[in-house]
Amino acid sequence: MSTVKLAVIGGDGIGPEVTAEALKVLEVAAPAGVTFEQTTYDLGAERYLATGEVLPDTVLEEIRGHDAILLGAVGGKPNDPNLPPGILERGLLLRLRFELDHYVNLRPSKIYPGAVSPLANPGDVDFVVVREGTEGPYTGNGGALRVGTPAEIATEVSVNTAYGVERVVRDAFARAQRRPRKKLTLVHKTNVLVHAGAVWWRLTQQVAAEFPEVSVDYMHVDAAMIFLTTDPARFDVIVTDNLFGDIVTDLAAAITGGIGLAASGNVNPDRTAPSMFEPVHGSAPDIAGQQKADPTAAILSVALLLDHLGHPDAAGAVEAAAIADLADRTPAAPRRTAEVGDAIASRLG
Ligand code: NAD
Ligand code: IPM
Ligand code: MN
């Protein structure tokens, strides 16, 4: 018998709806002898609006004491006057990623048999984006001067440390090494962002020497958008910075069947703190509370969580159940969020 302490943050909008289905699936997928002991945290817009709290230090420390985190989504309607922009995104989600050192933001993209790609001939798409999770333009290193005047200046400085770049690049190489095609593509914009680009390029070349079997490719991020839509099957492992990775993975989701299918893991590979698993999508205020959200991304995030915790068979079973469900879908007859969760859970039951 073993116990896994799981922190659950449903969050905002469709977050709690899809998380409920993910937990339903986890309940039936948990390997024999493993108990998931859940602590639910009511973090998000509602708590902020009621109390002014986003992520109290005491709560962060409690969360740190768990083995893993399952998150739905955070954030409100864009431009809601009651929610200052970024308050939840930066104060809750990014704070968790930074404080818990989630330097590998893992975002796999596959076209599963039943998934409908908007591309006419996508080919055999199966790649993973290793998005840096703790640096880049996300660190909040910037500021504004003369706000509201015609002379206003705003900066968002991208932070790229040799330490931070090298560790994520090495993780990406190690993943490429374990995959059949053993191919890594660095995606950046070294032709314009010459300072950050130089660090990424040099460390990629340097770490490549440790992985002689992995072939290395480079693509500017704009050209990568072309190839993601014209020939996505060419990619195997993509390594990129925090902001490029955010953008690349929404496109990756769109071409592999939609944002409702895209799972992610915010991984601390050194295991100095719990890793966090969440769908790539946000709180989707346009469909929140209507049971219209597809919970598959949240459910596939549970597969990533199980794999991370050392249960590859259970992870594979969850993925297989989601794939089987996908193959059975009729686009003309969409099901409610809970019906999809029930259907996937019952395949495992
Ligand atoms: P979004 O991902 O929430 O929604 C984009 C579009 O995709 C919407 O039309 C939405 O209805 C649809 N969609 C998203 N998830 C879906 C699902 N599971 N099933 C069916 N359709 C789905 O992105 P957005 O509109 O840019 O952001 C909304 C809010 O979410 C913002 O406050 C943003 O900051 C936040 N956000 C949070 C996260 C996160 O918590 N990880 C990620 C992205 C955005
Ligand atoms: C994501 C989201 C977040 C990001 C936001 C909400 C901070 O878009 O998880 O992809 O940019 O990383
Ligand atoms: Mn995003």
- Which mutation among 259, 261, 266 tests ligand 1's pocket best, with the greatest number of atoms within 8 A of CB? 259
- Which mutation among 14, 71, 83, 89 tests ligand 2's pocket best, with the greatest number of atoms within 8 A of CB? 89
Closest Cα to residue 281, out of 300, 296, 262? Answer: 262
Say what the ipTM of the complex is: 0.99
Q: Is 222 annotated as a binding residue?
A: yes
Give residue 102 CA to ligand 1 midpoint distance, Å: 21
Q: What's the predicted TM-score (pTM) here?
A: 0.98
Tens-binned pLDDT, residue by residue, of the chain (349 aa):
899 999 999 999 999 999 999 999 999 999 999 999 999 999 999 999 999 999 999 999 999 999 999 999 999 988 889 999 999 999 999 999 999 999 999 999 999 998 999 999 999 999 999 999 999 999 999 999 999 999 999 999 999 999 999 999 999 999 999 999 999 999 999 999 999 999 999 999 999 999 999 999 999 999 999 999 999 999 999 999 999 999 999 999 999 999 999 999 999 999 999 999 999 999 999 999 999 999 999 999 999 999 999 999 999 999 999 999 999 998 888 999 999 999 999 999 8
Please report, for residues 48, 126, 222, 253, the alpha-carbon distance to residue 232 in angstroms, rounded to integers and kept in the order given: 40, 8, 14, 12
Give residue 302 CA to ligand 1 midpoint distance, Å: 19
Give the list of residues 6+ apart from residue 338 with CB closer than 8 angstroms, or none.
20, 21, 291
246 is known as an active-site residue? yes
On whether the CB atoms of residues 277 and 266 are closer than 8 A, the answer is yes
On whether the CB atoms of residues 229 and 123 are closer than 8 A, the answer is no
